[in-house]
Amino acid sequence: MKRILNIAFWIFIPIGILILLGFSNAAQNELLCAELNVHIDYENGMQFLSREDVVNRLRQSNTDPTGKKMLNVQVDEMEAVLMKIPEVQSVEVFKTIDGRVGVSIAQRRPIVRVINSNGRQFYIDDRGFQMPVSNYYFPRVPVVHGYISEPELTESAHEIAGDSLLRSIMRTDDIYAMANFITGNSFWNAQIQEIYFSRKGDMELIPIVGDHRIIFGDTSHMEEKFNKLMVFYKEGIKQTGWNRYDTINLKYRNQIVCSKK
């Protein structure tokens, strides 16, 4: 009898727990959503979105959960609506047992602003995708302009780099590679804020300190070129001053060609 009672105990305890969970879930479904908690990741310094932007977008699409039964709160629909915001990289929507709905958003991080030859402006983010310019927030990133005709693209810089045809007619992969390198280095990020594409297709870097242009060419041997430039800044510019030269040409391997004013 003792053995039978012991077996029955271990059988009915899980069943009882499942029944209680079922009642709890049913009770939760009947709760009205009392609060919408929105968390936006501002750690990367970007402030494209506010809580009001998120709430307004949900209201416009009739997916704002506030005041609705938790049963009727469609998490997937809310995520789909918020993912259509161009500045959103990822979003997670979740329900809590006390009748609240949470929204967690990670923003996209632009690393360069592009102005093509037709005047169209857009950003390229840290994953290599285009994103539109915001009317409310302007991040401090390098600006690229000149003889470039980048159209609106859905392909990333990585995809373009791997496609010989696209790479032959697009500059996105070079722009991304250059911006990614500059923003990843504290010195160059502070020194280089403008990149110009010449008619010949060469990239020219325009520094903040010094009245000169840096003729960089393309992004081949990029790290080597920047290392040469750093050595020149430390050893050459220190002797002659920042405004002695008109151009500093890094296109040729193992040498730097400068022209004086």
Q: Give the angle 211-235-226 at the CA atoms, nearest 5°.
A: 70
Q: State the pLDDT at residue 43.
A: 79
Q: State the pLDDT at residue 166.
A: 87
Element holding 62 (H helix, E strand)? none
In which region does residue 118 sit, left (phi positive, over 0), alpha (psi from -120 to 50) or beta (all else)? alpha
Per the prediction, the chain carries an average pLDDT of 87
Please choose, from the candidates 231, 229, 232, 200, the residue with its C-alpha nearest in 3D space to the C-alpha of residue 217: 200
Q: Both 98 and 141 in a single domain?
A: no
Q: What's the pTM?
A: 0.82
Average pLDDT of 119-124?
95
Q: Both 60 and 180 in a single domain?
A: no
How many whole angstroms separate alpha carbon 121 and alpha carbon 186? 25
CATH number assigned to the domain comprising residue 142: 3.40.50
What is the token pair recorded at 229?
């430039």
Element holding 80 (H helix, E strand)? helix 75-83
Q: Both 145 and 206 in a single domain?
A: yes
pLDDT of 9 above 80: no
Listed range (55-64, 90-99, 108-117, 245-254) with the worst mean pLDDT:
245-254
Structurally, the chain folds into a number of domains equal to 2
Q: Both 41 and 155 in a single domain?
A: no
Per-position b or e across 204-243, b if 16+ CB within 10 A of its CB:
bbbbeebebbbbbbebeebeebbebbeebbeeebeeeeee
Percent of the chain's residues with pLDDT above 90: 62
Q: Of residues 155 and 239, which shows the higher confidence score?
A: 155
How many whole angstroms separate alpha carbon 203 and alpha carbon 247? 13
